[in-house]
Amino acid sequence: MREVLIQVAGPVAEVDRCPSAFWRGLRVAAFDGTMLDVADSAANAKEFTRPAGGAGPGGYPQARLVLLIECGTHVLIDAAIGGQGQGESTLAMAVAGSAGPDMLVLADRGMVGVPLWNAFRDSGAHLLWRLKRTVATKAEQILPDGTYLSRIRLDLHHQADSRRKGCPVPPPVLLRVVEYTIEGFDEVYRLGTSLLDPADAPADELAALYHARWDSEGGIGEIKTVQRGPGAVLASAYPDGVRQQIWAHLTVHHLTRVLMYHAAADNTTVLDPAQISFRQAQRLIRRDLSPAFSPL
């Protein structure tokens, strides 16, 4: 099933048919992580582990997913599967290579780190990630639009770990910091971007664009709530079966979204795929396919 997904996954949007998937010529993508409950078996508990809690371990082992999604269409570009004990940023390294030089990749503040930033930049993609308030706070140069250049560094713990393993410590990464507030809220939002020139990437446009990161959350919600069903537990008692079910779910979601994209783009007037109901689309697909799978 993983091989099936590899064959079909990838971005589909075209600029003239889905403008919401692009910004200044760059294809906008986002990645995020989520958890899926899997069947309570000894094999699954060993492979995926249970979440820890104040009242003891959770009832079900959990698989962790990281998805790289094309914004505007919600189609899947790539995905990685691991256990509950693996961090999202660790799993995200596996999807970084699926980004590309024509992309602008968005991510939440829990993802920022030198190795992961470098992995996505090595693919050629530009980045726009939210920053924690303690990250990249020292301004090296104030730019004309009020943004500033700063650097992120590998923390001392990971520097020491790299040295113990005989690996070179990566140098600090230069990025541009955009700070802004939203009307009615006191919190200062901070974004870090690889787009260093304000003339090419105005700060107000970047701040307005960042909300597209929620497209990754939307895609995850479609898989977990609409397609799989709320509160459902993956049935296989064995890790290989769990992975097969997850890859199958991801493939079905991707193909559904591809059909929705074409339905919107082939309309006489360009229609945003976000205006089509994912729930209704899957109902129509199931209704259309049911005669082919009927025992009669």
CATH code of the domain in which 59 resides: 3.90.350
Confidence category of residue 147, pLDDT binned at 50, 70, 90: very high
**Burial class of residue 271, CB neighbours in 10 A (0-12, 13-18, 19+):** middle
Domain that holds residue 29: 2-293
**Which residue has 């990281």 as its token pair?**
66
Would you state the pLDDT for residue 127? 97
pLDDT band (50, 70, 90) for residue 156: low
* Number of domains making up the chain: 1
Distance CA 252, CA 155 (A): 40
Greatest C-alpha distance within the chain:
72
Residue-wise pLDDT for 178-187, tens only, equals 999 988 888 9
d(CA 184, CA 192): 23
Query: Residue 296's pLDDT is what?
Result: 58
pLDDT digits (tens, 9 = 90+) for 219-274: 999 999 999 888 789 999 999 999 999 999 999 999 999 999 999 988 777 688 88
Separation between Cα atoms, residue 121 and residue 170, nearest integer Å: 13
- pLDDT tens for 251-262 read 999 999 999 999
Looking at the chain, the whole-number percentage of residues with pLDDT higher than 70 is 95
Residue 134: C-alpha distances to residues 60, 90, 152, 179, 186 (Å): 35, 21, 10, 13, 17
- Note the pLDDT tens digit of each residue in 82-110: 987 788 888 999 999 999 999 999 999 88
- pTM metric for this prediction: 0.90
Residue 56 has pLDDT above 80, yes or no: no
* Kind plus residue range of the DSSP H or E element containing 260: helix 239-265
Give residue-wise pLDDT tens across range 16-35.
Answer: 889 999 999 999 999 999 99
Q: Provide the pLDDT for residue 76.
A: 96
Report for 157-161, 182-186, 280-284: range of highest mean pLDDT: 280-284
CB 92 within 8 Å of CB 125: no
Residue 289 to residue 273: CA distance in whole angstroms: 22
The percent of residues in the chain predicted with pLDDT above 90, rounded, is 67
Residue carrying the six token digits 């729930």: 279
Burial of residue 174 (CB within 10 Å: 0-12, 13-18, 19+) is: middle
CB 136 within 8 A of CB 150: yes
In three-state secondary structure terms, 278 is helix
